[in-house]
């Protein structure tokens, strides 16, 4: 099991762990939807290219490795391609924070909050996806949770 864990309550630093061993580190920018990931000896950039259209990119220097983008008008589905396979990241249900990874209409993985009030993510994604891509997908999930929590707090306040 892989967990993407926040290092502290107000921290923008995350670590990815498998069986208690740190396998990647993320350092999020304080004000923007960006992060730097150190994974398997490489430093990669994670960015939100377009906040309104929810387009996220994983880059190695100036080379884009992967791109996840909103694939429906409601903003409930994100999609990407890997090795000529199409993937969708969708909520399990409208009221759930669990994100399902689907390929060919089959669930192949999930990302879920570790507990109720946590931005820590439990990552259960297929091993045929590279580790950096799995961490990137989880990072997008965490951003979506944080954005929905912020939106819910601001839209429900007096």
Q: How far is CA 157 from the centre of its chain?
A: 27
The whole-number pLDDT of residue 32 equals 61
Residues with Cβ within 8 Å of 94's Cβ and at least 6 positions away in sequence, in order, are 76
> 114-154: per-residue pLDDT in tens?
877 666 889 999 999 999 999 999 988 888 877 665 444 33
Domain ranges of the chain: 2-156
> 80-116: per-residue pLDDT in tens?
999 889 999 999 988 888 999 999 999 999 999 887 7
> 33-78: per-residue pLDDT in tens?
788 999 989 999 998 887 666 789 999 998 999 999 987 766 678 9
The whole-number pLDDT of residue 7 equals 81
Mode of pairing for the β-strands spanning 13-18 and 2-6: antiparallel
> 3-40: per-residue pLDDT in tens?
998 887 667 889 999 988 999 999 988 766 788 999 98
Q: How far apart are the first and last CA of the chain?
A: 41
Q: What are phi and psi of 114, to 5 degrees?
A: -65, -40
The whole-number pLDDT of residue 107 equals 97
Predicted TM-score of the model (pTM): 0.85
Alpha helices in the chain (DSSP H): 131-156
The whole-number pLDDT of residue 118 equals 66
Query: Residue 155 above 50 pLDDT?
Result: no
The whole-number pLDDT of residue 49 equals 81
Q: Is the dihedral of CA 10, 149, 126, 81 positive or negative?
A: negative
The DSSP secondary-structure symbol of 76 reads -
* Cβ–Cβ under 8 Å, residues 120 and 8: no
């Amino acid at each position: 099991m892989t967990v993407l864990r926040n290092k502290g309550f107000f921290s923008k630093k995350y670590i990815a762990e498998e069986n208690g061993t740190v396998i990647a580190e993320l350092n999020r920018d304080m004000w923007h939807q960006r992060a730097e990931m150190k994974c398997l000896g490489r430093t990669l950039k994670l960015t939100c290219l377009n906040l309104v259209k929810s387009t996220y990119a994983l880059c190695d220097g100036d080379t884009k490795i992967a791109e996840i983008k909103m694939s429906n008008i409601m903003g409930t589905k994100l999609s990407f391609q890997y090795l000529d396979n199409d993937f969708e990241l969708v909520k399990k249900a409208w009221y759930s924070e669990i994100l399902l990874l689907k390929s060919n209409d089959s669930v192949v993985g999930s990302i879920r909050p570790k507990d109720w009030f946590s931005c820590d993510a439990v990552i259960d994604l297929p091993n045929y996806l590279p580790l950096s891509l799995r961490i990137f997908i989880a990072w997008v999930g965490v951003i979506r949770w944080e954005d929905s929590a912020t939106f819910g707090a601001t839209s429900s306040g007096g």
